């Protein structure tokens, strides 16, 4: 069943249109990630789903029912904000159960839901603490717990990990993936981080400047980007873009090739000058220039490379993309 449908959704603030004719379907149980650069409209889109913002035109349907006029509290959704938005004067227990009390749930239900959520999030030992007595990661888990206890039809996450350090971000990312498996709930997750999008999503929606650029599974988008923007946005290090004339293509097009699809080869068509070498342990990134354009090779394992060296490079067979000057994909 379709859990959420956005049909021709547009949204303007004054004269500025920030969402432009958005069409998205989210299936029940799906994990959908909205990804795109800062300011592209991700939070606004999430807020229109939650009902915190009205749409200017178009329809929002939850479980096939139009909810344009339904207030946030009646939409069956729970939203986790980037800022956590915990109540500082309430301890963890009361932060997590407040919404259930307001909804006049029975004491037994409240206790049972609290126990279930705090076990899932390893918060049992912190129930009597106040937010100021918690680490950033613990606060984030309370914010997620507050959503879980409500048993929503739809979870909305707005950049929930952006305040955490790298290690914690990775742990919490795995926790959210586990949570999705355990609960089987429908989740929509907003991020500007392509790694989060690639690792969490069943389906990624790439947004740019208020428009949907492409929708698909992480590997569909990675292997078959519709345009240069999507190609460049997903993948780290990002896709290399070079003038296609370097390959005697003749046309003023752009050649796209991923860093892992380049390799040193004495007979290769490209000549690069190495400027920098990143030894990551498991991989080696060689960063250089190719006829004045920046280029990155990602080599497997620990590779020796010399700064300043000039070498020839080949592209793995069938691993090049071509884009026209307007960014659309040619092949």
| 43 binds Mg ion per the rule CB under 5 A | yes
Total of residues contacting Mg ion (CB under 5 A): 1
Three-state secondary-structure class, residue 313 = strand
Binding piece for Mg ion, criterion CB under 5 A, among 6-14, 43-51, 101-109, 125-133: 43-51
| Sheet of 211-216, strand order | 77-80, 154-158, 186-191, 31-35, 203-208, 211-216
CB of 68 to ligand ATP, least distance (A): 19
Determine the size of the site formed for ligand ATP (CB under 6 A): 11
Residue 83 within binding range of ligand ATP, rule CB under 6 A: no
Torsion from C-alpha of 135, 137, 141, 144, nearest 10 degrees:
120
**By C-alpha distance, which of 47, 57, 53 is closest to 10?**
57
Q: Which stretch binds Mg ion (CB under 5 A): 38-46, 171-179, 272-280, 290-298?
A: 38-46
Smallest gap from Cβ 262 to ligand ATP, in A, equals: 31
Interface residue with ligand ATP, options 8, 23, 27, 39 (CB under 6 A): 39
Give bridge partners of residue 24 from the DSSP assignment: 6
From the list 260, 258, 310, the residue with the least C-alpha distance to 280 is: 260
Nearer to ligand ATP, 164 or 287 (CB): 164
Single residue of 4, 30, 31, 42 touching ligand ATP by CB under 6 A:
42
Q: Does residue 284 belong to the site contacting ligand ATP (CB under 6 A)?
A: no
Q: Which of residues 188-227 bind ligand ATP (CB under 6 A)?
A: 192
Say whether residue 18 binds ligand ATP (CB under 6 A): yes
CA angle 281, 283, 288 (to 5 degrees): 115
| CA dist., res. 273 & res. 264, Å (int) | 12
Q: By the criterion CB under 5 A, which residues form the site for Mg ion?
A: 43
């Amino acid at each position: 069943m379709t859990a959420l449908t956005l049909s021709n959704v547009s949204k303007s603030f004054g004269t500025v249109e920030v969402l432009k004719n958005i069409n998205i379907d989210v299936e029940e149980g799906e994990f959908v990630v909205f990804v795109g650069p800062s300011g592209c409209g991700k939070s606004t889109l999430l807020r229109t789903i939650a009902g915190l913002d009205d749409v200017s035109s178009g329809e929002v349907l939850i479980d096939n029912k139009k909810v344009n006029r339904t207030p946030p509290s009646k939409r069956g959704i729970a939203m986790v904000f980037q800022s956590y938005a915990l109540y500082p004067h309430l301890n963890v227990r009361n932060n997590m159960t407040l919404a259930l009390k307001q909804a006049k749930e029975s004491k037994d239900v409240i206790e049972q839901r609290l126990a279930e959520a705090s076990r899932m999030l390893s918060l049992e030992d912190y129930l009597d603490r106040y937010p100021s007595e918690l680490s950033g990661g613990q606060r984030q888990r309370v914010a997620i717990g507050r959503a879980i206890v409500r048993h929503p039809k739809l979870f909305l996450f707005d950049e929930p990990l952006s305040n955490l350090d790298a290690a914690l971000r990775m742990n919490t990312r795995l926790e959210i993936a586990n949570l999705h498996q355990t609960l089987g709930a429908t989740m929509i997750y907003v991020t500007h981080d392509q790694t989060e999008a690639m690792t969490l999503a069943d389906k990624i929606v790439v947004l740019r400047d208020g428009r949907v650029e492409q929708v698909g599974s992480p590997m569909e988008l990675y292997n078959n980007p519709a345009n240069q923007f999507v190609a460049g946005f997903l993948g780290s290090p990002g896709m290399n873009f070079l003038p296609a004339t370097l390959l005697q293509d003749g046309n003023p097009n752009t050649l796209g090739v991923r860093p892992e699809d380049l390799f040193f080869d004495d007979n290769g068509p490209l000549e690069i000058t190495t400027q920098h070498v990143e030894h990551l342990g498991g991989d080696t990134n060689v960063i250089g220039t190719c006829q004045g354009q920046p280029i990155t090779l990602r080599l497997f394992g620990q590779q020796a490379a010399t700064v300043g060296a000039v070498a020839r490079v080949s592209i793995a067979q069938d691993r090049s993309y071509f884009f026209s000057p307007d960014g659309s994909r040619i092949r």
